[in-house]
Structure 1
């Protein structure tokens, strides 16, 4: 597990976005539907990627509770 997972999921999100763009229903709301599909995919991917990377590389290291401090 690492950075490759983020890139692989990005590729999947891009493919799903292209498929959503190509097969959006035709009509007066086509632009709205396409924009909504791409915006939803982008937001979901960014939220997932930021959370995933924050867990892989935390800013603060966890402290052990089972170690006694010597005074």
Structure 2
């Protein structure tokens, strides 16, 4: 799993971005990933660990499995 910090998350729109600690490109996170993990929301600056997978709709990499670090 990758460790990162929540850069932005909008509850109303249901998406945001996580900045990986290793300096790689920000990763998109959708509300459905939080629902699958049993999480309600994310806060800016919160530390999380996550896996990524290709989003079947967009074809881009997105958070697949997430938990609080």
- TM-score of Structure 1 vs Structure 2, range by shorter chain: under 0.3
Please report the TM-score for the alignment, with normalisation by the length of structure 1.
0.18
**Higher helix proportion, which one?**
1
**Higher strand proportion, which one?**
2
Tell which structure's C-alpha radius of gyration is larger: 1
